[in-house]
Amino acid sequence: MVSMTRAARDLAWPDLVWSHFSRSPFGGFDERVAAAAAAGYAGVGLFANDYRRMRDEEGRTAADLGAVLERHGMVLAEVETVRGWWAHSGPTRDACAEVESWAFELADELGVRYLQAIGPTEGTLEEVIDGFGSLCDRAAAHGLLVGIEWLPFTNIATAADAQRIVEGAGRANGGYCADIWHHERGARDIEMIRAVGGDRIFAIQMNDGALAPTLDDYKADCLAYRVPPGDGEFDCLGFVRMLADMGVRAPISLEVCSTELWSGPVEVAAQRSADGMRRVLELAAV
């Protein structure tokens, strides 16, 4: 049930997508969609495990979610997150296959554009490359782009780490997610990002924050203390200008993981992030 007005796979820069993790991980799908539509987003993201929860606990199907999206003129742009894709057998492979099945269900029904993959990985580089290529092949059968998000708390910590896997696999639908948080709090290496090529950055995640972490635990910090673009100390203007100069055409996902915003009204969280991103784009003049 793809939107009659615009398909998720037609979204492109500077369309805005409201990431699933701009709210707490489970619940409130209808309210998220309504708030995103009111704030002028083109689409929303969904955590695959929350779709599983909605199916199992609420009896909702992908078509049911599609009806909500259609009612608000919205699309499901992205699904997160597959892990363990490097495994070819055993419990890790089985768990990954289950998450993939939920994502593929959504893609087949709703025309989802993008699937996010993350580490950590195990095995040799050759085994990891082969696993990513296999994931891309499975996803391609459902019309999905696949991006590796580099995360400094995993062994795919930098753009260069992800590049070895993506280029080794050599799949047309295999690329990257560039999240400004993991740039600013990670390697902070512009040339490393430029090296992956703008045509292969399939997802952009924008947010802002303090340059110095609030918590010692990187993962916990990045899931609690983000702020809308322009409200923190990150070089949002420079990051956006870099992506534009690279020719990146992916839509811009607002992933503002904030316990403060999670606890407040959903409409406020959606509007503040959208407004901040629009100001950044205006100031960047791209």
pLDDT digits (tens, 9 = 90+) for 159-213: 999 999 999 999 999 999 999 999 999 999 999 999 999 999 999 999 999 999 9
Secondary structure E strands in 72-229: 75-82, 114-117, 145-149, 174-179, 201-206
Confidence of residue 4 (pLDDT cuts 50, 70, 90): very low
pLDDT recorded at residue 5: 52
Given a contact cutoff of 8 angstroms between Cβ atoms, the answer to whether 154 and 117 are in contact is no
Question: Does residue 113 have a pLDDT over 50?
Answer: yes
pLDDT digits (tens, 9 = 90+) for 82-103: 999 999 999 999 999 999 999 9
pLDDT digits (tens, 9 = 90+) for 31-84: 999 999 999 999 999 999 999 999 999 999 999 999 999 999 999 999 999 999
**Would you list the DSSP string of 171-196?**
-TTEEEEEEHHHHHTTT--HHHHHTT
CATH assignment at residue 148: 3.20.20.150
Residue with tokens 């609690």: 224
Write out the H or E segment, with its range, that includes residue 18.
strand 16-18
pLDDT digits (tens, 9 = 90+) for 122-168: 999 999 999 999 999 999 999 999 999 999 999 999 999 999 999 99
φ, ψ dihedrals at 114, nearest 5°: -145, 140
Overall pTM surpassing 0.85 (yes/no): yes
Name which of 1-10, 108-117, 230-239 the model is least confident about: 1-10
Three-state secondary-structure class, residue 77: strand
Candidates 190, 198, 181; CA nearest to 245 is: 198
The CA-based angle 5-8-11, given to 5 degrees, is: 95
Residue with tokens 């939107």: 3
Per the structure block, which two tokens stand in for 272? 């503040």
pLDDT recorded at residue 181: 98
CA–CA separation, 163 and 177 (whole Å) = 11
Mean per-residue pLDDT, 248-265: 97
Candidates 233, 226, 186; CA nearest to 206 is: 226
Q: Rg of the chain over CA atoms, in angstroms?
A: 18
Domain-embedded: residue 3:
no
pLDDT recorded at residue 222: 97
Domain-embedded: residue 251:
yes
Domain-embedded: residue 63:
yes
Range of the domain at 185: 8-284
Total tally of structural domains belonging to the chain: 1
Domain-embedded: residue 1:
no
Domain-embedded: residue 192:
yes
pLDDT recorded at residue 48: 98
